[in-house]
Amino acid sequence: MDPTDTDFIERIRRFDVAFLNVHGPYGEDGRLQGLLDYLSIPYTSSGVLAGSIGMDKLASKAVFSYLGIPVPRAVPVPRAAELPTDFSFPAMLKAVDGGSSVGMALVGASADLPREVEVLNSRGFNRLFLEEYIHGRAVTVSVIATESGPTALPPLEFVTESEYYDESTKLGGSGAPRVEYRVPDLPPHELKDLTEKSKAVYEFLACRGAVRIDYMIDNQGVAYALEVNTIPGLQDQSNLPVSCRLEGITYPELITSLLVNAVESAAPAPWTVE
């Protein structure tokens, strides 16, 4: 079902639970979740709070920092005429509400920044920020709801020939750089640190179902949180299903668990309760 269809509300009322697989603004930023809350229709994924903060990378940074999780330095880029002049390069230029590595670019020098800003603006990304480029390992941790509470799955490391885990690498396609997902060989204390950080974010944002939190681990072993994805991709080779298989969770079991969690955690709107 397409949420932009004019008969969406009429049709969605017939369902017991909605399985959300819509990404980007209007899909995972809390607006669709808020509509379903008003209609009292259970849905997979987290609610309005987690969705809206997760979609906003700068808001996410504030949450990470509050929880004591390191984040790369970042400064907003409000307009091309006010580009930062005191930022060291190379640096990452990112859209505040981008996702799946969409809306980002590695900027090698300050002279390249205006052109890269213009490119992202032309793609509809208006809120941009510069982020410190962390040299290290790109790692993601999925957290899912279980009967015993939030459970962090084995982390995955992205190994690619690209300079960074960019859009073409992540989304694939003809001529895309090769990428390998593997369980990183981390010291026990670093693995425990990643697990605790990820579960802390999940619990603080009152997440539901499954989320994925991305990190960069520098050469000193410090894990910097980048973003939280409240509707992780569900293609067979996407990060979440791959992590589940490593934990012995099959794809059908993952889908079923998300639906069950959606129904069990649903909170009907006050005006629907008799």
Q: What is the DSSP string of 25-94?
A: TTTSSSHHHHHHHHHT--BSS--HHHHHHHH-HHHHHHHHHHTT-----EEEE--GGG--SS--SSEEEE
Spell 219-244 as b/e; 16+ CB within 10 A means b: eeeebbbbbbbbbbbbeeebbbbbbb
Q: Which helix (H) or strand (E) holds 267?
A: none
Strand partners, 136: 218
pLDDT band at 252 (very low <50, low <70, confident <90, very high): very high
Using an 8 Å Cβ cutoff, are 64 and 225 in contact?
yes
Q: What is the pLDDT of residues 109-152, one digit of tens each?
A: 988 998 999 999 999 898 999 999 999 999 999 999 998 999 99
Say if residue 174 is exposed, middle or buried (CB neighbours under 10 Å; 0-12, 13-18, 19+): exposed
Mean per-residue pLDDT of the chain: 90
Task: Report the alpha-carbon distance of residue 154 to residue 191 in Å, rounded.
Answer: 9
Which pLDDT score is estimated for 177? 66
pLDDT > 70 in the chain, percent? 90
| CB atoms closer than 10 angstroms to residue 50 | 25
pLDDT score at 267: 86
Cis peptide before 90 (omega within 30 of 0): yes
Name the band, by pLDDT with cuts 50, 70 and 90, for residue 83. Answer: low
* Contact of 230 with 208, CB cutoff 8 Å: no
SS3 assignment, position 243:
helix
The pLDDT tens digits for 92-111 are 999 999 875 688 999 999 88
pLDDT at 169 over 60: no
Residue showing tokens 């930022």: 87
Mean pLDDT to the nearest integer, 253-265: 96
Give, for 180, the enclosing helix (H) or strand (E). Answer: strand 179-182
More confident residue, 79 or 237: 237
